[in-house]
Amino acid sequence: MNLARVSSLLARGAVLLALGLHAAHAALPTVPTPVRDAAPPPAVGGAGLLQAGFGMAAVVGLIFLCAWLARRFGLQRLGGGQVVKVVKVVSTAMVGPRERVVVVDVAGQWLVLGVTSSQVRTLHTLPAQATPSVATPSPAQNPVGLFAQKLRDSLAGKVRTAP
C-alpha cells in the first residue's frame, strides 16, 4: 500500500470515531449537579489588586531602606573594622585608563601605591606630612576664568549707553 493512502484511511477512521463518540455522548442523559450551600469564591476586584500593590510597594521600599541604611552607616566586616579607621586616602591620580597612583596614610606613614585592575604595588614610602593644600589657580590661569574675562571684555566693548 501507498503511504499516502494509509494516512488517508487513518484520517477518515479518526473522523468517523470522533463523530461516533460525539453522537454517543449526546444520547446520554444529563444529571444535574447538587447545589451546595457554600458561598462562591470571591472575585478578585480592585480592592484586592490595590492591597497587593501596596504590599509589593512596601516590600520594595523596605529593601531600598535597608540598602540605604547599609550604605549610610556602613556594614561592619568581621575582624576588619579597625583597619578601615586607620587607612586614609590622601590623594589619587589617574595615569592611564585603568591605572592610577594613590597616596594612602597608614598609621602615620604615607604609602605611594600603583593600582591597576589586577594588582596593587607599593612604589614608595614616605613619612606622614601635613596635607598639602592645593593652590587654586588665579582666574586668569583657570580656563573658566579666562572665558569669563573674555566674555566681560567683549560685552564691555559692545554695550553702549543711551544719551
Ordered per-residue pLDDT tens for the chain, 163 residues: 566 666 776 777 777 666 666 665 555 566 677 666 666 666 677 888 899 999 999 999 999 999 988 888 876 655 555 545 678 888 888 888 888 999 888 888 888 999 998 999 998 888 877 655 444 445 556 777 777 788 888 877 765 544 4
Task: Tell whether the torsion through CA atoms of 57, 60, 65 and 66 is positive or negative.
Answer: positive
C-beta of residue 130 within 8 angstroms of C-beta of residue 110: no
Quickly count: other Cβ atoms within 10 Å of residue 103's Cβ: 19
Contact 129, 111 (CB under 8 A): no
Task: Tell me the per-residue pLDDT of 87-98, one tens digit each, with 9 for 90 and over.
Answer: 888 888 888 888
pLDDT of residue 163: 47
- Let me know: does 114 contact 99? Beta carbons within 8 Å: yes
pTM above 0.85, yes or no: no
The per-residue b/e assignment along 19-53, b for 16 or more CB within 10 angstroms, e otherwise, is: eeeeeeeeeeeeeeeeeeeeeeeeeeeeeeeeeee
**C-alpha span between 101 and 118 (Å, rounded):** 14
